[in-house]
Amino acid sequence: MNRLFTRWGFGLGAAAGAAALIAALFLISPKTQATAAQVMTKGARAVARLTSIHLRGQLRTLPADNFSYVSSDCDFHAIELWKQLQPELKWRVEKPGRVAVMDGQSTVLYIKTANSGMKLPQPSRSAFDTDWLHRIANLSNTITNELNNAIAKGWKLGLKDERGADGRAKAVVTVEAKAGLPDNDYLKNKFFDASDTRRVYRFDAETELLEAVQVYVSGQSGEVLMFDLEQIEYNQPVDPAVFQLGLPANVNWYQTEMQKLPDNAKYASMTAEQAARAYFEALARQDWAEAEKFRRDRVNEKTKQLVAGLELVSVGEAFASAAYDPNGRFVPYEIKLGGQVLKHNVALKKDKKTGRWFVDGGGF
């Protein structure tokens, strides 16, 4: 939750850098790829001096899960980004169950369904897993990254012409991107940046502005449209209220740092499997104080009701993912709850201050 990402700025620098990459593509790639790169570079120049941008699209995701979580099994849900660049950087990203706002002073995440949140006491260029959407909004930097990858990783660029429903000519650039993960990696195709994708950028041939983006995730069963960016508004005034976030007084705030316990060494010495077992057993007997030793937030009333009657059946062997924290682990578990047997994997990370495992996802 607390990942902060690199600064992304709009400007001509990225487009200028892309020119050198285009020259390289002419030397090592088919002419179509270099021409596609030229179209994208023109698109970057067309939006080099933005004051604001608003994106609205549809993403196959869970309404309250991470902003970058995707799944072909999910329905489409709306996702939006508002970004003001002048006179002061502010942004907001929202989907039905989750919202993140940077108001120029601080950055706040609020998960609506859980009434929980996290606050960073400083402004940020992106945070809380919103980086992929910021990258799409920042077309200038996207071009540099896409073209760099086309050269370094052998990604394919394609180009074709279309006629839109409005009768205007469109230039359609396709980028086939690889996540670089093994097919059997647990997180493969579960998050935006951990997926093999075909990204389709549609530019108006006259204005050279980006008008739409579709992202298809490629899996063993074929391609699935995962993200459809259907609305892009450039340089439109943004209502100041967009960057204000009114929250309930009883928000359950996520702590960025855990506190040491009197018997902290006992918990710090646990394996990931032992920590998972102790956590679920605490939930089963409704020992909330014990369960919270493996969390960075309180067990709220909704969670208490949800896990009522939980019975732990088994805990499996921990495993890692190349797309996850190198020190983090996933632990398979099986529980009985509400008359059903449920199997899932709980994500665990180590707290740096205390050395204890804490639940990072998949475990209520």
Task: Check residue 224 and give its pLDDT.
Answer: 93
163 in Cβ contact with 172 (< 8 Å): no
Evaluated on CA atoms 347, 196, 200, 7, the torsion sign reads positive
5 in Cβ contact with 131 (< 8 Å): yes
Task: Check residue 48 and give its pLDDT.
Answer: 72
Task: Check residue 29 and give its pLDDT.
Answer: 53
Q: How far apart, in whole angstroms, are the C-alpha atoms of residue 54 and residue 52?
A: 7
Strand partners, 157: 175
Q: How far apart, in whole angstroms, are the C-alpha atoms of residue 279 and residue 360?
A: 12
Along the 364 residues of the chain, how does pLDDT read in single tens digits?
Answer: 222 222 222 233 444 444 444 444 444 455 666 677 778 778 777 777 788 999 999 999 999 999 999 998 899 999 999 999 988 999 999 999 999 999 999 999 999 988 899 999 999 999 999 998 998 888 767 766 766 777 677 778 788 888 888 889 999 988 888 888 888 898 888 888 888 899 898 988 888 888 999 999 987 778 999 999 989 999 999 999 999 999 998 898 988 779 999 999 999 999 999 999 999 999 999 999 999 999 998 898 888 998 999 999 999 999 999 989 999 999 999 999 988 999 999 999 999 999 999 999 888 8
Evaluated on CA atoms 289, 294, 297, 299, the torsion sign reads negative
Q: 0.85 exceeded by the pTM?
A: no
Count how many Cα atoms sit within 13 Å of the Cα of residue 50 in the half-sphere of its side chain.
30
Q: Where are the domains of the chain?
A: 12-243, 255-361
Domain 12-243 has CATH 2.50.20.10: yes
Q: How far apart, in whole angstroms, are the C-alpha atoms of residue 79 and residue 63?
A: 9
Name the CATH code of domain 255-361 (choices 1.20.5, 3.10.450, 2.40.10, 1.10.3470).
3.10.450
Q: How far apart, in whole angstroms, are the C-alpha atoms of residue 285 and residue 231?
A: 49
Task: Check residue 27 and give its pLDDT.
Answer: 41
Task: Check residue 356 and give its pLDDT.
Answer: 96
**The pair of three-digit structure tokens given for residue 133, joined into one six-digit string:** 């959407």
What is the secondary structure of 156-225 as a DSSP string? Answer: EEEEEEEE-TTS-EEEEEEEEE-----TT-TTTTTBGGGS-EEEEEEEETTT--EEEEEEEEEETTEEEE
Task: Check residue 194 and give its pLDDT.
Answer: 87
Tell me the residue type at 163: R
Cis preceding-peptide flag for 237 (omega within 30 of 0) = no
**The pair of three-digit structure tokens given for residue 76, joined into one six-digit string:** 């489409």
Q: How far apart, in whole angstroms, are the C-alpha atoms of residue 148 and residue 157?
A: 12
